[in-house]
Chain A
Amino acid sequence: MADATAIPAHPLALPPLRPEYLREVVAGKDIGVIEQPLTLWQRLANQAWLRKAIVLLVIASAWELYARWLNNPLLVPTFTATLDAFETGMTNGELPEKVANSVVLLLKGYALGLALAMAFTALAIMSRIGNDLLETLTSAFNPLPAIALLPLALIWFGLGDISIIFVLVHSVLWAVALNTHSGFRSVSNTLRMVGRNYGLKGPRYIAKILIPAAFPSIVTGLKIGWAFAWRTLIAAELVFGVSSGKGGLGWYIYENKNMLDIPAVFAGLLTVILIGLIVENVIFRNIEAVTVRRWGMQS
């Protein structure tokens, strides 16, 4: 014990004894600021679209400056020249027509891919062999780029929409099935028990418990599937371009490259990007806003 007092850093040392005190708290109205509205600048800085618009503006300016400095429209046309070509394409109706052709084809492939993905996943949920089938197929086909199947598709289905739809289905199916299935499997055990407690079984159980509970993963799958389908479509159109007399956006890019109309090539690429941005930021964002975000399943 005598040692303990001699060494201050002893593990059994006690904290110093301090006097107690009590205070009256100040009433809320006397403090001043408890809730204050943000300034206009702070509120503007909170708008994601505004910040992104500024980023886009900076990139466009850098492009314009570089192209002017380079001064070679065959390699890099200026941003304004690209916009001009875009405007021309839009007004003479060529670009809208190509966009429509591409989008219609895309939607066909996407819808078919989603339907097959749903069928596969339902099968995987309801039986163990279905589960094994889906897992084997996704691990085999998901890493395979869909465009690699195009030569085969051309031999099987000929030069036409069916070949493109075939590769589109392939690009959508595995990504969506993989995400939906992993979403289903991560549904909490409590929710599963709740569903069964109220007598839900089979398709009703899938529709009322599994699909909504796995919706965040399903939306992710839909987004990935869409991006895969879009890039596969453009690539496929670049490879064999026109089918049944009407080409899509990929064909537009390819054709204008052959005519050395490089601003039009850039306008085609810009359109591809714009459609991608619109689908991601308008369509999917709104789907998320009225579902998973509203439900507090995603922040």
Chain B
Amino acid sequence: MNASGPASLLQVQGVTLQYRTEKHVVTATYRVSFDVYGADRFVVLGPSGCGKSTLLKAVGGYMAPTEGTMKLKGVPINNPGADRVFVFQEFDQLLPWKTVKQNVTFALQSARKLRGKAAEAQAMRYIEKVNLARFADSYPHTLSGGMKQRVAIARALAMEPDVLLMDEPFAALDALTRRKMQEELLQLWDETRFTMLFVTHSIPEAVLVGNRILLLSPHPGQVKGELNSDGSDRVDAASGRKLSERIHDMLFADRIEEQEAVHHG
């Protein structure tokens, strides 16, 4: 925020996103601004319908904003590119016709980042990092959901992108696996210090995974604030409340007002 500090990696300024359905033009986000700095674990948190996934798609270059600008390292974002690698929620993001190792080398070769032996070595390095070396030659359909997501994370990290875009990557996992994956992700971050933009609707996940949390309100998504987190759900000195409780109050304050309005009306 201060002018003398390091320059931000990703700048999103006044971005309004609209998409067309059969009958309507829907505004997903309205004038959203935020800055992501190097090594940030930047979480975008909001209830369903706040346009957070759409926002991530826009940063990924899959859709253009109707208003506002998005810049990565000062360069406007126009197209999808390998400098911003996605990890999706869906398990079918792995190519079923390629083994775990081939999935990673495929990414490196398609993006013309590395070839041949170098690509293989890089792939194995990151597959080992997510503890899947034993499964390097397995096809994705033989893996569990958690393992598939680990492959997707290894594939994304192997690309060594400027920013990792994670679209609720653990939402389809069972609670125990999800918890384990969150810990592993933090451990990976400790080792490699990548920058990530992480979208979720889970407050505990945001508090655990993020160091900076952007809160969005629903219909359309507007910024409600940015909070810091140290992962421990600390108690705020000023209000005497836990971080997760403060977030909960901020996100769901509207809903309580709505309900009251209904009751009184």
Do the beta carbons of B93 and A199 come within 8 Å of each other? no
Report if B112 contacts A (CB, 8 A): yes
Do the beta carbons of A196 and B82 come within 8 Å of each other? no
How many chain B residues touch the partner (CB < 8 A)? Answer: 25
Question: With contacts defined as CB atoms under 8 Å apart, how many contacts are there between chain A and chain B in the complex?
Answer: 65
- State A215–B86 Cα separation when bound (angstroms): 25
Residue of A nearest to B80 (CB): A196
- State A55–B60 Cα separation when bound (angstroms): 57
Report if B256 contacts A (CB, 8 A): no
The distance from the CB of A77 to the nearest CB of chain B, in whole angstroms, is 49
The distance from the CB of B123 to the nearest CB of chain A, in whole angstroms, is 13
With A197-B86, A198-B111 given, can you name 19 additional A-B contacts, CB distance below 8 Å?
A188-B90, A190-B90, A191-B92, A191-B95, A193-B60, A193-B62, A197-B60, A197-B80, A197-B84, A198-B82, A198-B110, A199-B81, A199-B110, A200-B110, A213-B96, A295-B141, A296-B96, A296-B142, A297-B141
The distance from the CB of A39 to the nearest CB of chain B, in whole angstroms, is 28
By a CB distance below 8 angstroms, the chain B residues around A209 are 95
Pairs across A and B, CB under 8 Å, 20 listed: A190-B90, A190-B92, A191-B93, A193-B60, A193-B62, A197-B60, A198-B106, A199-B80, A199-B81, A199-B111, A199-B112, A204-B110, A209-B95, A212-B97, A213-B95, A213-B97, A296-B96, A296-B142, A297-B96, A297-B141
Do the beta carbons of A197 and B96 come within 8 Å of each other? no
Report if B189 contacts A (CB, 8 A): no
- State A277–B142 Cα separation when bound (angstroms): 31
Residue of B nearest to A292 (CB): B97
B55-67 CB contact bits vs A (8 Å, 1 = yes)? Answer: 0000010100000
Known contacts A188-B90, A194-B86, A198-B110: A212-B139 contact under CB 8 Å: no
Residue of A nearest to B107 (CB): A198
- State A212–B93 Cα separation when bound (angstroms): 14
B111-141 CB contact bits vs A (8 Å, 1 = yes)? Answer: 1100000000000000000000000000111
By a CB distance below 8 angstroms, the chain B residues around A208 are 106, 110
Q: Within B207-234, which residues are at the interface with A (CB < 8 Å)?
A: none
The distance from the CB of A68 to the nearest CB of chain B, in whole angstroms, is 52
Report if B85 contacts A (CB, 8 A): yes
- State A198–B62 Cα separation when bound (angstroms): 12
- State A190–B87 Cα separation when bound (angstroms): 10
- State A198–B90 Cα separation when bound (angstroms): 17
Report if B37 contacts A (CB, 8 A): no
The distance from the CB of A142 to the nearest CB of chain B, in whole angstroms, is 28
Q: Within A177-191, which residues are at the interface with B (CB < 8 Å)?
A: 188, 190-191
By a CB distance below 8 angstroms, the chain B residues around A188 are 90, 92
Do the beta carbons of A295 and B110 come within 8 Å of each other? no
Known contacts A197-B85, A199-B82, A212-B95: A294-B139 contact under CB 8 Å: yes
Do the beta carbons of A296 and B140 come within 8 Å of each other? yes
B193-212 CB contact bits vs A (8 Å, 1 = yes)? Answer: 00000000000000000000
Report if A291 contacts B (CB, 8 A): yes
By a CB distance below 8 angstroms, the chain A residues around B34 are none
Do the beta carbons of B80 and A291 come within 8 Å of each other? no
- State A199–B140 Cα separation when bound (angstroms): 22
Residue of B nearest to A208 (CB): B110
Q: Within A204-241, which residues are at the interface with B (CB < 8 Å)?
A: 204, 208-209, 212-213, 215
- State A194–B104 Cα separation when bound (angstroms): 12
Residue of B nearest to A291 (CB): B97
